[in-house]
Amino acid sequence: MSFFESLLALLAAAIVLLQVSRRLKAPYPTMLAAAGVGLALIPGAPKISIEPHTALALFIAPALVDAAFDFPVRDVRRLWRPLFALAVIAVLLSAGAVAWLGVTLAGLPIAAAIALGAIVAPPDAAAATAIMSSVRMPRGSTAVLKGESLLNDATALLLFSAALAFQARGEIDQGLAIRLTLAAPGGVLLGVLLARVLRVVHPFITGTLGGNVAEFVTCFGAWLIAERLGLSPVLCLVAFAMAVARDAGLRTPPRVRIHSFAVWTSAVFLLNVLAFLLMGLQARTIVTAMPRERLMEAAMFAAAVVACLVVVRIVWSVTYLSLSKRFPILRGPYPAAGWRHGILVGWCGMRGLVTLATAFALPSDFPQRDLIVLTAFAVVLATLVLQGLTLAPLVHLLRLDGDNGLDEELSKARADMARHALGVLERGEGAAVDHWRYRFAAVTEPAAEAVAAPLEALRATGLKVLWKQRLRLEALREAGEVGPDAFLILQEELDFQEVAISRDEERQIEES
């Protein structure tokens, strides 16, 4: 089959698998990665390979921007202690433990062992976001995990670069040390600078389809520029997205924002689907490249690495929370979390495309490259399947799946916004003022149960009259009294009104 035919077949298979995952209530990355392995073992299965550096930019850059845009700088400042504990210390501990296993069990050179540790240490942003979106978890834990998945790749990739340089040169000279030291702060500064440039250009392209294309060009371009300059592309994109998001709420017209969110959600989801399927399809390439006599030995070593990563992360998470409970300076001005949260955070260590693409980026003559690549794939598949499928039952077992406080927060915020809006209408008169006054008065009570009744009445009545308008609009089109252009405009007006009065959960499109 041609590349296009193979890609189309993969997407068709993915659509079926997404429906299966939804009905089984299983995270779709787990289902797609496992299915990719099964497809790879079928004779005549398509062989699709992507150059590793291209894969990192293509699949990781949009996922990082999409996640970082919704993660405010304020949360980074507020949660910097647990974020540092997971994104830096946990990655270094995991990498160190795996490096020790590599030297002790597999006889890897120290640089190769460190490279392996850096490859498998960081949980993946795309995998974590996709899986956590299907599980009801405590909001505090979710915020920390999302923030960690944005930042830990930077630590791991810097460690990986240092290991490669040490293997190639036998030492880390002064120039390389300076470059590695400047990579993180330089990436952040570059991201902020690019965001300022985009802010100047934005008024000229906003509200156009070209503007949507420019968003993706800027995303991929920022990654490539940072990579060419030897800076951290991960931190560059995270800083870029957060800087853009700081004032985008008031500067972006509502229609443009709705359209942009829809485009980004669909594009990132499509790339995630392809990424997890392609990960599974690499199984044949990895297994067939290794002699049979080494395969069992490599499988046992990979199992040891998987177990090591899981244990180290859980032990460190529980230890950090225990220390932060005893020493408040480690957690800041926030309530201490118990050991159950530590186990949950420790179990959320799904690896993904970053791990696999980084492994494939190893030079062909790198010591024991086949063992490292196979181990990386085993870690990805095992964490996606084992941890992905058991995350929801674990949340329930730990009794952390109760009310996460979102409904109460929404209710209070709506009441506060409504009271401020009513202040503008105090001296107004007329039908238009009465209309808006009645709508805002219905949500001024902060308690969720008090708001539910009037809001439900508004929704029920609104949906009934909007449906009657839709029927009339269709009749006018059939009668030729409304042309196609006017029909689309009026239909969109009805759509926006219906979305505005829909329940919170009804506004989101399911991922699978």
47 CA to centre of own chain? 27
The rounded distance, in Å, linking the Cα atoms of 272 and 292 is 32
**In this structure, what token pair is assigned to residue 250?**
């008031």
Quote the pLDDT of residue 316.
95
pLDDT of residue 445: 63
pLDDT of residue 88: 93
| C-beta of residue 356 within 8 angstroms of C-beta of residue 281 | no
Closest by Cα among 375, 383, 340, 336 to 358: 375
CATH 1.10.10.10 fits 3-397, yes or no: no
| Per-residue pLDDT at 400 | 78
- Contact in structure between 269 and 511 (CB atoms under 8 Å): yes
Q: For the chain (length 512 residues), average pLDDT per consecutive 10? A: 77 85 76 76 70 78 87 84 92 95 92 93 73 68 82 87 81 75 91 92 84 91 92 92 83 82 87 78 71 82 94 94 86 77 87 80 82 87 84 83 68 79 81 78 61 66 86 89 86 84 65 56
Q: Give me the pLDDT at residue 191, please.
A: 94
Nearest CA to 65 out of 309, 356, 204, 267 is that of 267
Please tell me the predicted confidence (pLDDT) of residue 237: 93
Per DSSP, the residues of 436-498 read HHHHHHTT---SHHHHHHHHHHHHHHHHHHHHHHHHHHHHHHHTTSS-HHHHHHHHHHHHHHH
Domain boundaries, the chain: 3-397, 405-446, 460-512
pLDDT at res. 306? 93
Torsion angle of alpha carbons 52, 54, 59, 60, nearest 10°? 80
Question: In the 3-class helix/strand/coil scheme, how is 45-92 assigned residue by residue?
Answer: CCCCCCCHHHHHHHHHHHHHHHHHHCCCHHHHHHCHHHHHHHHHHHHH
pLDDT at 117: 95
- In the Cβ-directed half-sphere of 381, how many Cα atoms lie within 13 Å? 23
Q: Is 24 exposed, middle or buried (0-12, 13-18, 19+ CB in 10 A)?
A: exposed
* Collapsed DSSP state (helix, strand, coil) of residue 359: helix
Q: Supply the pLDDT for residue 14.
A: 85
The pLDDT score that the predictor gives to residue 299 is 87
User: What is the per-residue DSSP string for 275-344?
Assistant: HHHHHHHHHHHHHHTS-HHHHHHHHHHHHHHHHHHHHHHHHHHHHHHHHHHH-GGGT-SSPPP-HHHHHH
What pTM value is reported for the model?
A: 0.82
Asked if residue 354 lies in contact with residue 267, where contact means CB atoms within 8 angstroms, the answer is no
pLDDT value, residue 453: 54
Residue 113's CB is within 10 A of a number of other CB atoms, namely 26
Phi and psi at residue 360, to the nearest 5°: -70, -20
3-state secondary structure of 398: coil
